Amino acid sequence: MRKVIKRFTSRRRRLVLVAALMALVLTACDWRSFGFDAAHTRFNPETNAPSGLAPRWVTQLPGGVESSPTISKGIVYVGDSAVNDEVSALDAATGATIWTFSTDGDVSTSPAVAGGIVYFASQNSTMYAVDAMTGALVWNVAIGPAVGSPNVVGGIVYIGSTNGTVYALDTATGAAVWTFRTGGPVVGSSAVSGGILYIGSTDHRVYALNSATGAMVWTFATGDRVLASPAVSDGVVYIGSSDHNMYALNATTGMLVWRVTTADRIQAAPAIVNGIVYVGSFDHRVYALSATDGAVVWQVTLSAIVLASPSAANGVVYVATTDGIVHELDAATGTNVAPPFATGAAVLVSSPAIANGVVYVGNLAGRVFALA
């Protein structure tokens, strides 16, 4: 009898271990925030990203989708702008609605998922934390209107507001850890790396703040508004500006490393992969730039303005344009990997998110697509 029990117990432990490993594999490739990681590299290191885009499912939401989808543990979280201004949780496999949470202001931000909680902001000047599985409210606090997305790092959720304030809130309670005032509305999202938060403002500046205290480390002046979100890699901050320039700044000192001038404004956040910076511009182009010196590796002209941020995985860069087309570009050459996919309506700032072999994106007609 003891041998039977021992064999049963050993088998049960093996099954539990296998289940745990499977869960780890399924969640390791999740895209849990706007920038994928805290540094906002927008690069998912998974190796099964799709080559060729066809709808696995399409879900119709009540209002237009400007929010970039985020994915965690088999659930897609996305906001929309309608009568109820909702955040929806959708089954990643089928697109079926699991729950919705209504606010009274547009939700154009991307939810961030951490520790079983979904964090998002609304243009009704409120920041929300809700249970990731049920949508039940955990807390909400008043901030200014927000169109940038939250970033969750080390028990703090960071978000900027169009009232010019950067907020650092305790993830458990929503209480303010610190706030910092810039000289203009903050539209983009933050990147956090090495204990420093990086964010741009419409006052033509990029700020580096101590992520624990909010104390300013340095600031850098550009020639126009900074509406784009930064990304950080290997000690360098990459960020675009409405002055048509893509900037590379020393992450410690704020000194200029290089800049590249495009033909129009840059509002998209870059993606950074293997020493290459991928960024889109209002000039309809996507640029692949050397992270070291800004040299142009390649550039391609697409069908419309590139306002949404590129995303990358498995040697492919996914880019959505304002005419509603999702492009799939070879990361090394910029050539089309597969025919572009037409969503049927404009895609503004709902940037593609890649998770577990599927690309998720929304359009202004209120449709969310799972493409694979």
Classify strands 311-313 and 43-44 as parallel, antiparallel or unpaired: parallel
Query: CA-CA-CA-CA torsion for 67, 154, 204, 306, nearest 10 degrees?
Result: -30
Please report, for the chain, how many H helices and E strands are present, in that order: 1, 33
Picking from 7-11, 61-65, 144-148, which range would have the lowest pLDDT averaged per residue?
7-11
Residue 135 is given by DSSP the state -
The tens digit of pLDDT for each residue in 286-319 reads 999 999 999 999 999 999 999 999 999 999 999 9
Which sequence spans correspond to the domains of the chain? 31-367
Compute the mean pLDDT over every residue in the chain, rounded to the nearest whole number. 93
In contact, 79 and 67? CB cutoff 8 Å = yes
Which pLDDT does position 7 carry in this prediction? 44
Q: Which of the four pLDDT bands, split at 50, 70 and 90, describes residue 18?
A: very low
Q: How long a stretch of residues is the chain?
A: 372
Picking from 74-88, 286-300, 318-332, which range would have the lowest pLDDT averaged per residue?
74-88
> Which of the pair, 371 or 1, is modelled with greater confidence?
371
| Mean pLDDT across 268-293 | 98
Q: Is the pLDDT of residue 371 over 60?
A: yes
Which pLDDT does position 50 carry in this prediction? 85
The tens digit of pLDDT for each residue in 99-121 reads 999 998 899 999 999 999 999 99
Q: Is the pLDDT of residue 222 over 60?
A: yes
Q: Which of the four pLDDT bands, split at 50, 70 and 90, describes residue 1?
A: very low
Percent of the residues in the chain that have a pLDDT greater than 90, as a whole number: 89
| Mean pLDDT across 198-207 | 98
CB neighbours of residue 252 within 10 Å: 14
Query: Hey, what are 118's tokens?
Result: 């979904």
Which pLDDT does position 153 carry in this prediction? 98
Q: Is the pLDDT of residue 11 over 60?
A: no
> Nearest to residue 322, comparing CAs of 353, 289, 282?
282
Q: Is the pLDDT of residue 51 over 90?
A: no
| Mean pLDDT across 265-291 | 98
Which pLDDT does position 104 carry in this prediction? 85
Q: Which of the four pLDDT bands, split at 50, 70 and 90, describes residue 182?
A: very high
Q: Where are the alpha helices (DSSP H) in the chain?
A: 2-28
Which amino acid does the sequence have at 266?
Answer: I
Q: Is the pLDDT of residue 33 over 80?
A: yes
Q: Which of the four pLDDT bands, split at 50, 70 and 90, describes residue 9?
A: very low
Which pLDDT does position 13 carry in this prediction? 53
The tens digit of pLDDT for each residue in 227-237 reads 999 999 999 99
User: In the β-sheet with 353-355, what is the strand arrangement from edge to edge?
Assistant: 55-60, 367-371, 358-362, 353-355
Q: Is 136 exposed, middle or buried (0-12, 13-18, 19+ CB in 10 A)?
A: exposed
Which fold, 31-367? Methylamine Dehydrogenase; Chain H (2.130.10)
Q: Which of the four pLDDT bands, split at 50, 70 and 90, describes residue 138?
A: very high
Query: Hey, what are 60's tokens?
Result: 């119709």
Which pLDDT does position 28 carry in this prediction? 66
Which amino acid does the sequence have at 324?
Answer: G
